[in-house]
Structure 1
Amino acid sequence: MTHNRSADVPQPMGAAADLRLPRPPGVFRRFWARHPHVVDGLLAGFYALPTLIFTLIDGIGGFGVSDFGASAPGWYAYHLLVATALTAAIYLRRRFPFSGIVVAWIAILIPVNGYEVFDILAVFILLYSLPLFRPVYLAWIGYGGLVLANFISGWMGPSDPLNPSNALSAAFVFVIVVLVGINIGNRRRYVAAIIDRAAQLARERDQQAQIAAIEERARIAREMHDIVAHSLSVMIALADGAAAAVSKNTGAAQKAMESSAETGRGALAEMRRLLGVLSTDGDETAESMERVPMPGAENIVALVETFRAAGLVVRYSVEGVPTGDKGQQLTVYRVAQESLTNALRYAGVGATVDLAVQFGSESTRVVVIDDGRGTPVNGNEGSGRGLAGIRQRLAIFGGSVDAAAYGRGWRLDAVIPLTATPPSKENES
């Protein structure tokens, strides 16, 4: 039989310990709730003491409390056994409530006349306890067994055992006890379910917070990769160009070094912002991210100029109006940034790159094609994570990317649907 400890209100633990449930009213009620065995012991003693005392006195002294008198010592021994069983059933009513109601059936089915006043108290306690600690259907089974046993034995009317009116009266009293037990038991089960649900929600809240923190750090890692890869590629190209032009064109070399320094300062500022987010906890992290503007579609022009200064021949075209979703605009910017970085790294300085961004009504498309005819940047082989990062970004929006060789160069085609929104806070930044 499945145990249902619904009456014992679960105590929240671990992640759910901060539920701050209201304190139950009443000093005595809280005491009984904390010490259930004391309650069961008092109930068992309330029945057992007078019952056992009168049974022993009547059996030894023959005072005639029962209808059998002193000439029937076997009945006294039987009732002493039944009273002991009922006492144990009351004390163990939380663990074995249905076994207790079986003992009550026996006590009613084979009664000892004269002790009904004592035994009926035990029957009421056991019948009331059954729906408190077990499913309701078992309570009705226990009720039906008591009514049947009472009708057979005529326990409520010893002078006329099979009088239907006595059986109906007993059935009416029993049903009141059952209904009271069901009402209180259902209320306890309902409260226990609410507390359990609250604890579950608290655990899910903490788990979601941990997942959000992991996702945020993964996003920051992608941002860091884009910043470092882009900035270092541009700075290396500019430094190489400045070194080659320093002896022939001092002005061009100076301009290249200034552009390299500006790129480095911008990358350093972005890295400080991201590292500052990593060292901040709680809501302050989200607030700091929201206060810092993220690059969007309007920043692609400045991005293109940076790569042109680094030596790429970039032909940029744009169609349509950018979506208002800042998260998708950031993704478009990062796709363009990673593609141009790869073109500079592999196609090299002097390569021609066509960058086309199309903002449609259903999707945004970014197409980047390079001819592969430049001079690759030395010492910048790459880690192979750029394209994987693009795929992860597009997957957030349900997008796709197709990248493959195109003649001597490379072609990337990324599509971002406008129907999906990212689960992160990038679109709020």
Structure 2
Amino acid sequence: MLVSEGALTHHIQRLSRRIRAFDHRHPLVWDLHLTGFWVTAALIDYAGGGWLNVTRDRDNPSWLVLALSLGLSVPLLRRRAHPRAVLLTVFPFALVNAWTGIALQAVLLQLLVVFHIALRRPARNLWWATALITFPVALMAARHPQGSMDRDIIPVLMSIAVAAAIGITVRTRRDHTEALEDRARRLEIERDQQAQLAAAAERARIAREMHDIIGHNLSVITGLADGGKYAAAKSPERATQALDAIATTSRQALTELRRLLDVLREEHHPRAPHPELTPQPTLTDLAPLIERVRAAGLPVRTTIDGSPTLSPGRQLTVYRVIQESLTNTLKHGGPGTSAHIELSYDDKGAVTATVTDTGHSDGTAPGTGGRGLPGMRERTALYGGTLEAGPRPHPEQGWRVHLHLPEEQPQ
């Protein structure tokens, strides 16, 4: 039974939406049908003599009764678009109807206009609408008394109150529905905007990861290839070592790229099998990183003060900043360049990393024009840190990158 009632309610609501949509597209069709119905009813009342049962003066001419019947019903055609104008148009006919004592029941059609005033116009319009409708009733009660005046006026006032209450109720429900629909639209727009922002942030994250993986490993491979080329003529063993290092670095780069692509495939296909992922680099991976850079021909010294107590995300940030700094040194440092890494940890979880090199600057800032420095700054900003990158002060040569991450705030 509950299912049947629910299905019936759903069917009625769907039919109601279709009718409202049709009426919104073709308002004149509904207005013509409703107006035609009431005009026909008024003419039947006139032609059938039904008005004689309630009239207070039977001696009025039939042409006047016909004119009043049309005057009180035809203007309803514009009741929705111009309800106040319709009420003013009907008012003279209502006055004549009251003055002559014909007392046509078509005068009650003014309640439809009251409904539309309450539905579409400010509430203050109901006061003068009530006055326009009540005045002819009082006039007829005075000229053609039939019992006490209260007997004529009070039912009319009650009818006006009911029509206004219905109009206000429908208006309140309509406004509430429109507010809910507007809120749903705004939530949908906000959801789409959030999705776009999330997609942009994800693209930026992927770009950083791709830059760090490819940029660093290609720089190491380039350095190894250059060293192997010079060593080939003098020391074939050194050339073989360089080729082995190139193969190892290439395989590592391919592994990291496959890991990143597996993550992307998992994010776009939630039902896909969970890929086997390798963990993101941490500070424990700094030693292998430095060894690869040294193998590529860049001497690197390290100074470490304290022991790290950082979350994985903060460790990844420090690792990537050092990796990018060494990559830029490999690219731009030139022959004879060396690098120095200083790491300092405090007891509260803050960390400071400084990477300096002795490269010969050619006037080009390492990492400018690409994703290098912007990527480092974005990573640093995620943890409220600061990043400084620029040439070392004169007379020193080279480049300096200084990273500071404050202590991690509890969530």
CA distance in 1, matches of 2:402, 2:360: 20
1:334 aligns with 2:320: yes
Q: List aligned pairs for 1:50-61, cutoff 5 A.
A: 50-55=41-46
Pairing partner for 2:105 from 95, 111, 117: 117
Pairing partner for 1:200 from 182, 186, 190: 186
Q: Which residue of 1 aligns with 2:115?
A: 128
Query: Which structure's relative contact order is higher, taking Cα pairs within 8 Å and 6+ residues apart?
Result: 1
1:153 aligns with 2:136: yes
Contact 1:109/1:150 (8 A) holds in 2: no
Contact 2:341/2:356 (8 A) holds in 1: yes
**Per the alignment, do residues 285 and 209 of structure 1 end up closer, same or farther by CA in structure 2, a change over 3 Å counting?**
farther
Q: Name the amino acid aligned to 1:43.
A: L
Q: Which residue of 2 aligns with 1:85?
A: 75
Contact 2:266/2:275 (8 A) holds in 1: no
1:182 aligns to what SS in structure 2?
helix
**Per the alignment, do residues 362 and 173 of structure 1 end up closer, same or farther by CA in structure 2, a change over 3 Å counting?**
farther
TM-score (norm 2): 0.76
- In structure 2, list runs of 5 or more residues that go unmatched: 1-8
Deviation at 1:400, TM superposition (A): 3.3
1:143 aligns with 2:126: yes
Q: Which residue of 2 aligns with 1:400?
A: 386
**Per the alignment, do residues 99 and 262 of structure 1 end up closer, same or farther by CA in structure 2, a change over 3 Å counting?**
farther
CA distance in 2, matches of 1:235, 1:364: 30
Q: Which residue of 1 aligns with 2:356?
A: 369
Greater shift in the superposed pair: 228-237 or 271-280: 271-280
Q: List aligned pairs for 1:54-69, cutoff 5 A.
A: 54-55=45-46, 67=57, 69=59
Q: Name the amino acid aligned to 1:178.
A: A
Q: Which residue of 2 aligns with 1:307?
A: 293
Q: Which residue of 1 aligns with 2:3?
A: none
CA distance in 1, matches of 2:201, 2:11: 40
Pairing partner for 1:357 from 343, 350, 354: 343
**C-alpha deviations, 1:351-373, integer Å up to 9, x for none?**
33222334554754331111237
**Per the alignment, do residues 349 and 182 of structure 1 end up closer, same or farther by CA in structure 2, a change over 3 Å counting?**
same
Greater shift in the superposed pair: 179-188 or 310-319: 310-319
**C-alpha deviations, 1:217-251, integer Å up to 9, x for none?**
23322322222221111111112222333454444
Q: List aligned pairs for 1:29-428, cutoff 5 A.
A: 29-30=16-17, 32-36=19-23, 37=27, 39-55=30-46, 67=57, 69-71=59-61, 73=63, 76-77=66-67, 79-86=69-76, 88-90=77-79, 93=80, 95-103=81-89, 108=94, 111-112=97-98, 113-120=101-108, 122-132=109-119, 134=120, 138=122, 140-154=123-137, 158=141, 159-160=144-145, 163=149, 166-275=152-261, 282=268, 284=270, 291=277, 293-316=279-302, 317=304, 319-324=306-311, 326=313, 328-348=314-334, 350-359=336-345, 361=348, 363-372=350-359, 384-385=369-370, 386-406=372-392, 407-417=396-406
CA distance in 1, matches of 2:73, 2:42: 7
Select the structure of larger CA radius of gyration.
2
Q: Name the amino acid aligned to 2:308.
A: V
Contact 2:55/2:104 (8 A) holds in 1: no
User: What's the % identity of the aligned pairs?
Assistant: 31
Deviation at 1:280, TM superposition (A): 7.1
Deviation at 1:337, TM superposition (A): 0.9
**Per the alignment, do residues 102 and 220 of structure 1 end up closer, same or farther by CA in structure 2, a change over 3 Å counting?**
farther
Deviation at 1:192, TM superposition (A): 2.6
Contact 1:355/1:368 (8 A) holds in 2: yes
**C-alpha deviations, 1:122-149, integer Å up to 9, x for none?**
22222223343x25xx2x3332123212
Contact 2:35/2:73 (8 A) holds in 1: no
1:238 aligns to what SS in structure 2?
helix
**Per the alignment, do residues 416 and 84 of structure 1 end up closer, same or farther by CA in structure 2, a change over 3 Å counting?**
same
Deviation at 1:263, TM superposition (A): 1.0
**C-alpha deviations, 1:19-77, integer Å up to 9, x for none?**
xxx9564575355334435654443233221113444777xxx9996737444845753
CA distance in 1, matches of 2:145, 2:129: 18
Contact 1:242/1:252 (8 A) holds in 2: yes
CA distance in 2, matches of 1:362, 1:179: 68
CA distance in 1, matches of 2:408, 2:284: 21
Q: Name the amino acid aligned to 1:153.
A: P
Q: Name the amino acid aligned to 1:226.
A: D
**Per the alignment, do residues 105 and 371 of structure 1 end up closer, same or farther by CA in structure 2, a change over 3 Å counting?**
farther
